[in-house]
Amino acid sequence: MEKPYVVGIDIGGQTAKIGLVDARGSVLTQTAIRSDDTSDPNEFIHNLSEAVKKLVNKEYSMSDVRGIGIGAPNANFYKGTIENAPNLKWAGHGVILNFTDMMSAEVGLPVRITNDANAAAMGEMAYGVARGMKNFIMITLGTGVGSGIIVNGELLYGHDGFAGELGHVTMVRNNGRQCGCGKTGCLEAYASATGVARTAREQLETTDKPSLLRQIPAETISSKDVFDAASQGDELALDIFKFTGHMLGAALADFVAFSSPEAIVLFGGLTRSGDLIMNPVVEALNDNVMPQWKGKIKVLFSTLKESDAAILGASALAWDLN
């Protein structure tokens, strides 16, 4: 009998989400583990493998699982590696992990991997707001900024498997913020959830504008704190979202110029801020894009649950594994 299930895994900077998926694209059951509680890759892979086995064996059987698909930061589809991933404690600068081989040895199943944003794009194209689209860009706004680029219905990987690192385009050439990748001025340093928190700390230090955020110790401020303040009409918090959205929108205008997408899909925790981020993004996009695209590029929020898009996209990698 043909094995009817695959496992999809979304590895992020803080958690790894695991789901068992059937051929109809239904996530039958899922769980999550911390991805930031160890700096040892072998320990993390062991913990992840044990979580997969526990999840599947609770109601199903590992013998019915065809394989595992994984989305992870700085993952190389061609080589099965995770390389120099600044947002993963166990895979930072100078670290190259043969992740699929290591995971397969632990769990006893074939494993395939791609960049986490690529996985989210695949999930969105198959099951979400981008269903039926052949040209779009997925932007993930979480701990970092990731991207998956779909051209003519296929993911863009480039010659080495690393195409699509749009979070690391340089937005500020002089005196830009230090990014986790080692560069300065990257989009990720400004438009991620951590970038929002950094902007808040800068604004609190360099202005005397009253704000609810001043009631919070600066070093503990999160993007959620900024959202909560903005939702109450806090002027400084609203300015932070405008700054962030304008930075992202200006970057999107450049992205449009090289692939002419039908749409740009925003995904991840920062999208929960809704119009606070969407309005300045669209404004800046149309202020900066070339005339032939002005007002024509759709900017959409993902319609899939945050955990499901990347799990479903990653799981798609596993259906043709033997």
Q: Residues 142, 207: one domain?
A: yes
Identify whether residues 137 and 220 lie together within a single domain: yes
Q: Which is higher by pLDDT, 282 or 142? A: 282
Nearest to 109 by CA among 73, 155, 44, 56: 56
**Is position 321 within any domain?**
no
Instruction: Tell the residue number behind the tokens 């043909």, with chain if given.
Output: 2
Burial class (CB in 10 A: 0-12, 13-18, 19+), 274: exposed
127 in a structural domain = no
Residues 169 and 247 in one domain: yes
Residue 217 confidence (pLDDT) above 90: yes
Measured CA angle at 223 (ends 120, 201), to 5 deg: 135
pLDDT in tens, 41-100: 999 999 999 999 999 999 999 999 999 999 998 999 999 999 999 889 999 888 999 999
Band (pLDDT 50/70/90 cuts) for residue 291 is very high
Matching residue, tokens 């990987």: 157
Who contacts 90 (Cβ-Cβ below 8 Å, separation ≥6)? 38, 39, 40, 41, 43, 44
Q: Is 226 contained in some domain?
A: yes
Q: How far apart are CA 39 and CA 25, in angstroms?
A: 33
Contacts of 17 (CB under 8 A, 6+ apart): 9, 10, 30, 31, 32, 307, 310, 311
For 12-125, where are the E strands, in sequence order? 15-22, 27-34, 65-72, 75-76, 81-83, 96-97, 111-115
Span 315-322, average pLDDT: 84
Both 79 and 203 in one domain: the answer is no
Confidence (pLDDT) at 61: 95
Q: Helices (DSSP H) in 60-134: which residue ranges? A: 99-107, 116-127
* CA atoms of 127 and 138, how far apart (whole Å): 14
> What are the tens digits of pLDDT across the range 225-243?
999 999 999 999 999 999 9
The CB density around residue 121, as the number of other CB atoms within 10 Å, is: 34
Q: Are residues 153 and 295 in the same domain?
A: yes
Task: Return the bridge partners of 147, or none.
Answer: 139
The verdict on 280 and 136 lying in the same domain is yes
The CATH number covering residue 77 comes to 3.30.420.40
Q: How far apart are the first and last CA of the chain?
A: 13
pLDDT at 126: 85
Q: How much is the average pLDDT of 8-23?
A: 93
Q: Is residue 322 part of a domain?
A: no
Q: Please give the pLDDT value at position 322.
A: 65
Q: State whether 69 and 146 are in the same domain.
A: no
pTM, entire model: 0.87
| 81 close to 276: Cβ distance less than 8 angstroms | no
Checking if the pLDDT of 1 tops 60, the result is no
Domain residues for the domain of 191 are 132-303
Instruction: Check pLDDT > 70 for residue 290.
Output: yes
Mean pLDDT of the chain: 94
Residue 8 to residue 271: CA distance in whole angstroms: 23
Tell whether 137 and 283 lie within a shared domain.
yes
Helix (H, G, I), strand (E, B) or coil at 133: coil
pLDDT digits 0-9 by tens, 159-198 = 998 898 999 999 999 999 999 888 999 999 999 999 999 9
